[in-house]
A = this chain, B = another copy of it.
Amino acid sequence: MSKSETTRQKILESTTWLIGQYGIEKSSLSMIANSVGIQKPSIYYYYSSKEELIDAVFSWILEGYSFDKYFPIIEYTKENFVEKIINDGVQLLNEESTDTQLLVVQVLNEFLLYGNRESSHNKAYKLKIKAVQQGFIDGFVHLLQKGVEFGLMESKGLREKAVVLALTLDNLSNYPLIGIQLDTAAVWKQAISSVLSGKEGM
């Protein structure tokens, strides 16, 4: 990696970390420059404005955050279905409980709120995060359809079940931010169990 690219990367990392600590608006270019070890105007050599830098941070942390990465539908078979859906979810939750991922979750939430604000020039944040969330819902719909095909569950209320799974996963990621400790694996198992055997339409 060239020196230029190294610096660019350091700016990205420092900014992400600072956003996790102080939020987007309170992370000033002074702080960022200071944290990287360069002078403030030097940032403009790499990003033409703070907005552009923030955009770059957003893209950077969002890339590779997809349903398929964690739940590779193609690998699911009738035999491994139940075990795998549990394991994949547990692995995602474990991964997200590392310090790095807690930072990512915090930063994503910063962007989510930031994207909702009037002053935000870039409404795309909201849309992109929505797309990711929607991707998880759609992913679970596809996955559960496979479960139906395998005869492991009924097709009724399938979309709602998929939503419950997506919601549960999302919220289990967010709870550490509030400081509530949960046995996330157990909750996830319970959610799967409910979905696979639930008799809806009461």
Q: Quick one: given A117-B23, A180-B130, are A198 and B200 in contact (CB under 8 Å)?
A: no
A193 CB, min distance to chain B CBs, angstroms: 5
Q: Given the complex, which residues of B lie within 8 Å of A130, measured CB to CB?
A: 178-180
Report the stretch among A3-11, A49-57, A67-75, A182-190 that lies at the interface: A182-190
A157 within 8 Å of B by Cβ?
A: yes
Residues 165-202 of A at the B interface (beta carbon under 8 Å):
167-168, 170-172, 175, 177-180, 182-183, 186-187, 189-202
A112 vs B182: C-alpha distance when bound (angstroms): 18
A171 touches B178 (CB 8 A): no
- In the complex, whether A148 has a CB less than 8 A from a CB of chain B is no
Q: Is the CB of A190 within 8 A of B171?
A: no
Interface residue tally on A, bucketed by range: 35 or more
Which A positions have Cβ atoms within 8 angstroms of B? 21-23, 25-26, 82, 106, 109-110, 112-114, 116-119, 126-127, 129-130, 133-134, 137, 157, 160-161, 163-164, 167-168, 170-172, 175, 177-180, 182-183, 186-187, 189-202
Q: How many copies does the complex hold?
A: 4
Q: Give bound CA distance, A139 to B119, whole Å.
A: 38
Which 3 pairs show the lowest CB-CB distances between chains A and B? A194-B194, A194-B198, A160-B190
Q: Which residues of B contact A161 (CB under 8 A)?
A: 190, 194
Q: Contacts A25-B23, A178-B130, A202-B189; is A194 near B164 (CB within 8 Å)?
A: yes
Across the interface, which residues of B come within 8 angstroms of A113, CB to CB? 23, 106, 109-110, 113
A192 vs B171: C-alpha distance when bound (angstroms): 17
Pick from B160, B180, B187, B197: contact of A199, CB under 8 Å? B197
Q: Which of B112, B167, B197 contacts A177 (CB 8 A)?
A: B112
